[in-house]
C-alpha cells in the first residue's frame, strides 16, 4: 500500500460525533469459552472468510489517514492469531504519524509470552478480561481457563512496562462478592479496574437475565466502605472514571444498560471479515473486503462514509427475563 496521505473528509457520523477510535478485530477465535460471551460449542469463520494481516494493516492505515487516533486490537482473543506480532509492529510504527495510541484487549492466557513483543511494538496499555480471583469461579466462568496462567500474564505485562487495566464483567451470584478483593489486588499489582455490565450479544446456553446486575448495585459494597469521586480521565472508550478514596486504583464503569453512554460514542468496529459494524448493538454493517481486494481505496473511502452516515444515535440493549439477545452474533464476531 502507498504511504499514508491526508484525506480531506474527517470521520464524522450523521449525528455530528467525531470518530477517532477504531476497534480492530483480528480473529473471531478464542482459547476460552466465557459463559456470557460464547456458546460452549462455537463455529468459527473459515480462513477464506477472514482478512489477511496485510489487509488489516492496509485498512488500519487508511483509517489513520482519515483521522483515527487510537486503535485497539481485539478478537476473540487477538493473541491466538498467528502473525499478530507482524501486525502489531506495523501499527506501532504509525504512532506519532497520525496514531496516538495502540492498545490490546486480551484474556491473558498468552500474555506472558507476548508481553515483551507488545511493548517493543509500541503498545503501552493492555486491557485484561478477568472477572474473578477465585480459581473455581474463574474455571466456571471461562469453562476451560486456568487463573494462575492469567495472573502470570498480568505479572509479565507489568514487568514489560505495560499499563494494565482489568475488565471485570459484573455477574450476579457469580462474582458480586468479589469486587473488594479485586480492587485490593489491583492496588497491590499496580492495575486499574473497569467494571462492565453484561450485554445481550449472541446465543448462549444460560439466560443472561439470571446474572445481570446493574453496576450501581454491584458497587454498593464499595460505596458502603469508602467514597468514589468522578474524574476527568478519558481513554477514548465508553467508561466513566472515578477515584477511590484511600486507593491508587482508577475505577471505570461501563453501563450499556443502566446508563446509556451512546451520546459520546467515538468508535467504529472493523471485524476480521472486513465489515464495519456501526454499532455493537445493531446488525447494520458495510463490507469493505471486496473493495479492498480490488485495490480501489476511493471505493473503500466511499464505503466508510456510507457506514458513518448509517451509524445510529444509540443502541437498544435490553435484558429481560428469557429475552432474545439484541443481536445473534457473538461479541467475538464483532470485536470487543
For position 266, what pLDDT does the model report? 80
- For CA atoms 79, 253, 163, 119, give the dihedral sign: positive
For position 198, what pLDDT does the model report? 86
163 Cβ neighbours under 8 A, 6+ residues apart:
124, 125, 126, 192
For position 230, what pLDDT does the model report? 94
Of the candidates 316, 173, 198, 327, the residue with the CA atom closest to the CA atom of residue 255: 198
For position 1, what pLDDT does the model report? 44
**Measured between alpha carbons, how far is 222 from 243 in angstroms, rounded to an integer?**
12
Sheet with 70-74: strands ordered across: 228-230, 240-244, 250-254, 192-197, 163-170, 125-129, 101-106, 70-74, 21-25, 267-270, 275-277, 285-287
For position 331, what pLDDT does the model report? 52
Binding positions for S-adenosyl-L-methionine are 36, 76, 129, 199
Binding positions for [4Fe-4S] cluster are 30, 34, 37, 262, 265, 279
**Measured between alpha carbons, how far is 27 from 186 in angstroms, rounded to an integer?**
28
* pLDDT beneath 50, residues of the chain: 1-6, 202, 204, 317-318, 321-322, 325-327, 329-330
For position 27, what pLDDT does the model report? 97
Of the candidates 73, 89, 61, the residue with the CA atom closest to the CA atom of residue 27: 73
Q: Which residues of 135-167 are buried (b: 16+ CB within 10 A; e: fewer)?
A: eebbeebbeebebeebbebbbbbbebebebbbb
For position 239, what pLDDT does the model report? 85
Of the candidates 136, 200, 126, the residue with the CA atom closest to the CA atom of residue 161: 126
Domains in the chain (CATH in brackets) are: 21-334 (3.20.20.70)
Binding positions for GTP are 23, 72, 105, 165, 267-269
Residues 18-47 pLDDT 10s:
999 999 999 999 999 998 888 889 899 999
Binding positions are 23, 30, 34, 36-37, 72, 76, 105, 129, 165, 199, 262, 265, 267-269, 279
User: What values do phi and psi take at 242, rounded to 5?
Assistant: -135, 145
For position 14, what pLDDT does the model report? 85
Cell of 86: 507482524
Is the pTM higher than 0.85? Answer: yes
Amino acid at each position: 500500500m502507498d504511504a499514508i496521505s491526508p484525506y480531506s473528509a474527517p470521520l464524522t457520523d450523521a449525528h455530528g460525533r467525531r470518530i477517532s477510535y477504531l476497534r480492530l478485530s483480528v480473529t473471531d477465535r478464542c482459547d476460552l469459552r466465557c459463559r456470557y460471551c460464547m456458546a460452549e460449542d462455537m463455529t468459527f469463520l473459515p480462513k477464506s472468510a477472514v482478512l489477511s494481516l496485510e489487509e488489516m494493516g492496509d485498512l488500519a492505515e487508511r483509517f489513520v489517514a482519515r483521522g483515527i487516533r487510537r486503535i485497539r486490537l481485539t478478537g476473540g482473543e487477538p493473541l491466538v492469531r498467528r502473525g499478530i506480532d507482524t501486525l502489531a509492529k506495523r501499527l506501532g510504527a504509525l504512532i506519532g504519524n497520525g496514531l496516538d495510541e495502540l492498545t490490546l484487549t486480551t484474556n491473558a492466557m498468552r500474555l506472558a509470552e507476548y508481553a515483551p513483543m507488545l511493548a517493543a511494538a509500541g503498545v503501552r496499555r493492555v486491557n485484561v478480561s478477568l472477572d474473578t480471583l477465585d480459581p473455581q469461579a474463574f474455571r466456571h466462568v471461562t469453562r476451560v481457563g486456568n487463573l494462575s496462567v492469567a495472573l502470570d500474564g498480568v505479572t509479565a505485562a507489568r514487568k514489560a512496562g505495560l499499563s494494565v487495566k482489568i475488565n471485570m464483567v459484573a455477574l450476579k451470584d457469580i462474582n458480586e462478592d468479589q469486587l473488594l478483593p479485586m480492587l485490593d489486588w489491583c492496588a497491590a499489582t499496580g492495575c486499574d479496574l473497569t467494571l462492565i455490565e453484561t450485554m445481550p450479544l449472541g446465543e448462549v446456553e444460560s439466560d443472561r437475565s439470571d446474572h445481570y446486575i446493574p453496576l450501581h448495585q454491584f458497587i454498593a459494597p464499595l460505596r458502603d466502605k469508602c467514597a468514589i469521586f468522578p474524574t476527568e480521565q478519558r481513554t477514548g472508550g465508553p467508561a466513566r472514571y472515578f477515584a477511590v478514596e484511600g486507593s491508587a486504583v482508577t475505577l471505570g464503569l461501563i453501563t450499556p444498560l443502566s446508563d446509556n453512554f451512546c451520546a459520546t460514542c467515538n468508535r467504529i468496529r472493523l471485524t476480521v471479515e472486513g465489515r464495519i459494524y456501526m454499532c455493537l448493538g445493531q446488525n447494520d454493517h458495510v463490507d469493505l473486503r471486496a473493495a479492498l481486494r480490488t485495490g480501489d481505496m476511493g471505493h473503500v473511502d466511499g464505503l466508510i462514509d456510507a457506514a458513518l452516515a448509517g451509524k445510529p444515535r444509540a443502541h437498544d440493549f435490553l435484558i429481560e427475563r428469557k429475552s432474545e439477545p439484541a443481536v445473534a452474533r457473538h461479541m467475538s464476531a464483532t470485536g470487543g
